[in-house]
Chain A
Amino acid sequence: MDDLDQLEAQSIFILREAYRKLKPLAMLWSLGKDSNVMLWLARKAFLGRVPFPVMHVDTGKKFPEMYKFRDEYTKKWNLELLLGDCPPVEEIDPTLPPAARSAARKTAGLAAMIDKYKLAGVIAGIRRDEQATRAKERVFSPRGSGHKWDVRNQPPEFWDQYATPHEAGVHVRVHPLLSWREIDIWRYIEREGIPLVDLYFSKEGKRYRSLGDQDITSPIESNASTVAEVIAELETSRTSERAGRAMDHESEDAFERLRVAGYL
């Protein structure tokens, strides 16, 4: 088994644990590369099926290519798609910096969907290497009342034994990609031939390294126009993946505040 086989086996194990222990369960599908890999891993775990719904929390501000991709693959992969919308930005905490405030709409939209479908588990494609605050996550991360993440008091988690509380009002965020690095994601996409929105590939010297809302995501300078070229580019890059995501950088603690409140 090479490193991708190991990561794959571990993610499949985590997905099967979630499916067994948390009902009802749903998977977040942001239409980005990570959540496509995650969806692919679910089909590996459940032999070509996805036995729970996928959720798209729609900010209404995604790129047109992303909506097209969503509709095409919902059909192709026979997915049960749950759509939820987000409240207008005026309803969000005005003390947050502007981009974070915009991003927080998604938190509110997600919270509404979790309540509406009474979800016990939500599978999300975050990774430790993406962002400092995400590095502290557990694979199974229980969220108490108000969906709050109690970062200073997380349960111990070791030997593949995960916290699965059964309390009213508590749901668990499940993170099957936590140990993957950005480059692993791309190498797996290459190995498996996983389809992606083509915004990730260079056009006129620019490509998106990470995809979010149109107004708070910016492309990077790059000539990488194939998966192999992206991998080659990452092997030499020393800048961070989310450099183009405005809400991470507005103030020292903006992103942690977003996450404590339930952002991904």
Chain B
Amino acid sequence: MNTIPTPAPQDAATPIVIVGHVDHGKSTLIGRLLYDTDSLPEGRVAQIIESSKKRGLTVEWSFLLDSLQIERDQGVTVDSTRIPFKLGNRQFVIVDAPGHRQFLRNMITGAADAEAAVLVVDANEGAQEQTRRHAMLLRLIGIRHVIVFMNKVDIFNYDQKKIEAAERDITKLLLQLEIEPTVFVPASAREGDNMASRSDKMPWYKGPTLTEALAAVPAPSSRADLPLRLPVQDVYRFDTKRIVVGRIERGRIRVGDEVVIGVHGAKARIASIESWHTAPQVAAVAGQSVAVTLEPDVIPDRGDFLFPADHAPLRAARIRTRLFWLRQEPLRVGESFRLRLATAEHQVTVAAIDSVVRLEDLTEHPAEEVPPEGFAEITLAVSETMLFDPFVPGTADGRGVLVDRNQQIVGGAPLIGVAESVAGRNAIHPTGSAVSLWDRAQAKGHRGGVFWMTGLPGAGKSTLAREAENRLFARGIDVSVLDGDTLRAGLCADLGFSEADRRENVRRAAAVARILAESGQVVIVALISPTVADREMARQVVGEGFHEIFIDTPQATCEQRDPKGLYAAARAGKIEGFTGVDAPYEAPQKPDLRVETTDVSRDETAARLAAYITDAIRLDASARRQTS
């Protein structure tokens, strides 16, 4: 701590978050810091001394913060606020999240971009529940620079042995979280010991004061020296130019650089960097929002990364992530969300809860669910292969958020890596194939896909599926049919007709369909799949390329056809839980295709189905990949 770097006067302010257990002295610290750095409006200090006197106290620094708070908040609301102060030429912003109501989401909102944290610990009480919770958050947010402010050491009469013992306890706790505290400052915020000036009561302490420790916080590190990551934010067409825009998250670009685009791996050169009202640009670095043109004129999608061929991100369809869960309800396996990562959005399902953090001692344990506002490590199954970089502190990408159907953020997810199998628990670990979906599609001349036919027993699903299969095969399309009876004869022979078994039947069919579709096949599934929930699960298991087709035949017609004599048997009470008789069928409200079979010839319906499928699997369908 001998040298204090002096940043250029116009550097951006360094955000600092102050955390710690209630009553360990956060407010006092902030008040005293503002006073010591002369960051207060005129007349405020006199006011504090006055109101402290009135209450028979010497000087209560926390009143200072309260008075600022009341002024800023008009006494009515609670949220994170930002308090600026200066050390020399350097600007800092204290992010403070007062209050307890919805503390977590407000603290995260304020602190997620902090460069450093001051963890305030009462020397006498040591780490408490919120100390642990906040330390956990610091780890998950990826704050590398943690200053432990050991407060109220006057209680120990500044005794070296006692203070160092308390320090060891905290160090042990933080190391458990893989947080290496940058520095320990034994101090008293109230008395001003080791705040802005060195305490004469602890001559044995040779480390920095709080302000020295803050001044030594490295300026936000440049991510410019890492391999390029430019997530595509949007693609514009202005005049005759197609312009790809986004913010460089890592690395740099230079006109002429070759880049790889997204999971499909097309290659292009940066042909130009476009800008308005600046000098002509030939290069740009991490942090800049840029606009580029590509040569050849490839059209990326939002969410595609541009990256260098020799430093590709990881690719996988199952990823492990840390999680801080922001909802007031528990999280369970099987729940689905969108994972937003930089500008990309992926459909994900919680495939496993690998461990949950017990806040009492910060140890990790297996669990069935993540408790409300809990911390965990989970495995996400992604609906398609995705590209990502594991999160490392000091970078901004590699950390995603989970959003629900209302586009509301429900959790933060710093990604760890590709999900590995854990002996006995995660026996399955799909490996990303080196042959890409795009390669397969190009070789076959069509994309893969799953066409999920649902309908009442006897609606004509299997018959239609076979007819369509014939027609498609004749056109050279690699197609196969999975129908309920075939599945039950083999893969699902162990399943009965209980609700759980039916659901498992659907899940297996979807999983097999997915594997086939990923190998480039067109799969027609003919399965009653009577509930909306069943089909939603199938959609999630399959992911991209799932089409729901409703074979809409009135029940009377089905019952009249009764090709397998099952309606008759059910009516006679010989079969229980028969869909359409004594088990419900929930018709899809918005299927991708509705096929009516009454008053239309079988040929016509099959032709219509085949035409729909052919259209959906065309190479250019919704892909917008290649040059125009």
Contacts and interface: CB of A to CB of B under 8 A. Distances in A.
A226 interface: no
A45 to B, nearest CB: 7
B409 A157 contact: yes
Interface in A123-162: 128, 132-133, 135-136, 138, 151-161
Contacts of A135: 72, 81-82
Contacts of A9: 247, 287-289
Contact of A16 (B106, B233, B277, B407): B233
Interface stretch (A63-71, A87-95, A163-171, A196-204): A163-171
A252 interface: yes
Contact of A17 (B72, B106, B233, B236): B233
Contact of A44 (B11, B72, B276): B276
Given A2-B8, A132-B73, A12 B289 contact: yes
A127 B452 CA distance: 51
Contacts of B113: 158-159
B234 A159 contact: no
Contacts of A156: 105-106, 108-109, 326, 409
B115 to A, nearest CB: 13
A158 B245 contact: no
B76 A43 contact: no
Chain A residues touching B, range: 35 or more
A16 B289 contact: yes
A132 B71 contact: yes
Contact of A256 (B74, B288, B406, B409): B74
A4 interface: yes
Contacts of A4: 10
Nearest to A239: B41
Contacts of B401: 158-159, 161
A3 B233 contact: no
A243 B76 CA distance: 21
Interface residues on B, range: 35 or more
A158 B412 contact: yes
Interface centre among A10, A157, A161, A252 (most CB of B within 10 A): A161
Most chain A C-beta atoms within 10 Å of own C-beta, residue among B101, B396, B409: B409
A192 interface: yes
Interface string B362-403: 000000000000000000000000000000000010010101
Nearest to A256: B74
B407 A165 contact: yes
Contacts, number: 126
Nearest to A19: B234
B407 A163 contact: yes
A152 B78 contact: yes
Contacts of B277: 43-44, 48, 192
Given A3-B12, A12-B289, A48-B276, A136 B79 contact: yes
B3 interface: no
Contacts of A8: 289
A152 B11 CA distance: 33
A210 B502 CA distance: 67
Interface string A101-122: 0000000000000000000000
B77 A151 contact: yes
Given A4-B10, A159-B412, A47 B275 contact: yes
B628 interface: no
A119 B549 CA distance: 34
A73 interface: no
Nearest to A45: B289
A12 B291 CA distance: 11
27 contacts: A1-B288, A5-B288, A6-B12, A7-B12, A9-B247, A9-B288, A16-B245, A44-B275, A45-B245, A46-B236, A48-B277, A128-B82, A132-B71, A132-B72, A135-B72, A138-B109, A152-B101, A155-B409, A156-B105, A156-B326, A157-B409, A158-B108, A158-B401, A161-B401, A161-B409, A163-B407, A238-B42
Interface of B: 8, 10-13, 41-42, 71-79, 81-82, 101-102, 105-106, 108-109, 112-113, 233-234, 236, 238, 243, 245, 247, 274-277, 285, 287-289, 291, 302, 326, 340, 396, 399, 401, 403, 406-409, 412
